[in-house]
Amino acid sequence: MRPELLLPEIIVFVGGLVVLLGGSFLPRDRQWIARVLAAAVLLGATGAATLAMAGSTQAAFSGTFAVDIATNAARVIAAFTTLLVLGVAAGEIGGSARESDTYALLLFATTGVMVLAGATDLVVLIVGFLLASIPLYGIVGLGGGAAGAEAALKTYLLGALSGILLMLGVTVLYALAGSTDYAALREALPAAPGAAVGAGVLGVLAGLLFKAGGAPLHFWVPDAAQGAGVTAATFLTTVPKVGAMVAVYRLVAMLPDGDGTWLLIAALLATASMLLGNLAAYWQADPRRLLGWSTVSQVGFLLVPVAAAGRSDLALPSLLFYLAAYAVTNVAAFAVTAALPRHRELGSYRGLARSRPGLALALLVALLGLVGTPPLGVFVGKLTTASAAWDGGYTWLALMVMLNSALSLFYYLRWFGPVFAHPAEDSPGFPPRGGTAAWPAATAGVAATVSLALGILAGLLWAALDGPLLP
């Protein structure tokens, strides 16, 4: 069985148990110890996953879990991004009664994300989905008061529905193939009735799209991003997508698709998410809700290489690179909102560049990064995903990537335009440096720097993301 192949998952899950139990015995003024322990756990998991990337592609636990380039990249991205989320959390929930509980839930959910990314069996996929989802409900509800409770309820209800659809889809596919293993499904499904296969696959896709936050199961994302605490908002719009998108790619790549039907469905879902997210973001005044709709749009971009699965060698590396670039860039944007918790309207950022130039620069890098501006990391991600679509025969989808990138510029301009304007006379001003906002501000700077570094070093990193995919 070789459990050492799941070392990053074991480190994070056991670390979550230690943080949960140890935090119960820590006084409130020493809850920071749990944060330090969680950070050490995530650093350890990041290191273990990075070392695993240099190893060979292997299957673990009787072929139900793949240890390949996609799994290892997802492990590194998920663990490192959650580490950045801890920096956001330090400013928001530091010293609160539920601090250590939140860290434990973050670690458990991250474990589920890693399991999702490596699952090559539908039963393991269900386990990863539940492990990534159940702690998320608690994370959303713990820190947001009444608004957080409402957001948690919406997330739970849609998550429960999506989970039911996923398990129904698994049941149908198992009935058709007599197995839940991806390799067995690939052999058995071509001979099964097409309508039944379609029903089963759509059910599984529904569950995964909920985790990713893509259309048509996206409704919870902007509500949760606005109503939950900023720690929960940062996590839910970033980390779950890593495992969900890799799982979607594995599923689509496994399907018998001689006529390209499933690839076309992925392309249509990508277009719907891009357009819906961009158009809905135009009218948002709350920066966190705007980022929530931006997340829906970004999922559309992430679905573009899925439409080229098996048709372009660029598909998998572009997906993995885009996930890494988007994760750190999105964290940078949310970290700025965490450093300015009382500024909940776009207009209230007027004059930020004069009062807090470092924070304004981090926000500028984040927003230009989300648009896809060179030399930032998301630019490389969008360029390579569009190239993968073009290479895979979807010229129109590559054009949709370019069109939607241009469309997104306008609503991001609504945010960073006031940042560089002269402050109004009746402006309430911005809090001084330091205090509880110091951690989120530092996190924003680190995440923005990593986003820039990914773009500059894209050529070197690309080679590390090019490898075989199991099964």
Can you give the pLDDT at residue 428? 62
Q: Is the pLDDT score of 288 beyond 80? A: yes
What's the mean pLDDT in 242-264? 89
Q: Which distant-in-sequence residues (6+ apart) come within 8 Å of 390 by Cβ?
A: 398
What's the mean pLDDT in 328-343? 94
User: Which residue segment(s) compose the domain that 408 sits in?
Assistant: 3-464
- Establish if 459 belongs to a structural domain: yes
Can you give the pLDDT at residue 323? 98
Q: Which residues pair with 58 in a beta bridge?
A: 67
Q: Is the pLDDT score of 185 beyond 70? A: yes
Window from 268-277, 350-359, 435-444 with minimum mean pLDDT: 435-444
- Establish if 470 belongs to a structural domain: no
What's the mean pLDDT in 72-91? 96
- Establish if 435 belongs to a structural domain: yes
Q: In 3-state terms, what secondary structure has residue 144? A: coil
Window from 56-65, 123-132, 205-214, 372-381 with minimum mean pLDDT: 56-65
**How many structural domains comprise the chain?**
1
Can you give the pLDDT at residue 1? 56
Strands (E), 318-457: none
At 58, which helix (H) or strand (E)? strand 58-60
Q: Is the pLDDT score of 29 beyond 60? A: yes
- Could you tell me the two tokens for 65? 């879990």
- Establish if 65 belongs to a structural domain: yes
314: closest CA among 405, 383, 403?
Answer: 383
Can you give the pLDDT at residue 359? 94
Q: What is the rounded CA–CA span in Å between residue 418 and residue 421? A: 5
Q: Is the pLDDT score of 452 beyond 60? A: yes
Residue 67 DSSP symbol: E
Can you give the pLDDT at residue 168? 97
Whether the bond into 216 is cis, omega within 30 of 0: yes
- Establish if 118 belongs to a structural domain: yes
- Angle 265-269-271 from CA coordinates, rounded to 5°: 115
Can you give the pLDDT at residue 426? 57
What's the mean pLDDT in 114-142? 95
Can you give the pLDDT at residue 4? 79
pLDDT averaged over every residue in the chain: 92
Residue indicated by tokens 């998320």: 136
Q: Model confidence at 144, in pLDDT bands (50, 70, 90)? A: low
What's the mean pLDDT in 205-215? 95
Can you give the pLDDT at residue 259? 63
Window from 7-11, 416-420, 452-456 with minimum mean pLDDT: 416-420
Q: Which residues pair with 60 in a beta bridge?
A: 65
What's the mean pLDDT in 309-333? 96
Q: Model confidence at 142, in pLDDT bands (50, 70, 90)? A: confident
What's the mean pLDDT in 140-157? 84
Residue 143 phi, psi dihedral angles, 5° rounding: -110, 5
Q: CA-CA-CA-CA torsion for 438, 439, 440, 441, nearest 10 degrees?
A: 40
Number of H helices, E strands in the chain: 20, 2
What's the mean pLDDT in 437-441? 88
- Establish if 471 belongs to a structural domain: no
Can you give the pLDDT at residue 30? 85
Can you give the pLDDT at residue 434? 62
Q: Is the pLDDT score of 343 beyond 70? A: yes
Residue pair 16/111 in contact (Cβ under 8 Å)? The answer is: yes
- Establish if 266 belongs to a structural domain: yes
Can you give the pLDDT at residue 123? 96
Can you give the pLDDT at residue 436? 58
- Establish if 469 belongs to a structural domain: no
Q: Model confidence at 94, in pLDDT bands (50, 70, 90)? A: confident
Can you give the pLDDT at residue 196? 95
pTM: 0.96
Q: Is the pLDDT score of 38 beyond 90? A: yes
Q: What is the largest CA-CA distance in the chain?
A: 72
Can you give the pLDDT at residue 107? 98
What's the mean pLDDT in 66-73? 94
What's the mean pLDDT in 457-465? 90
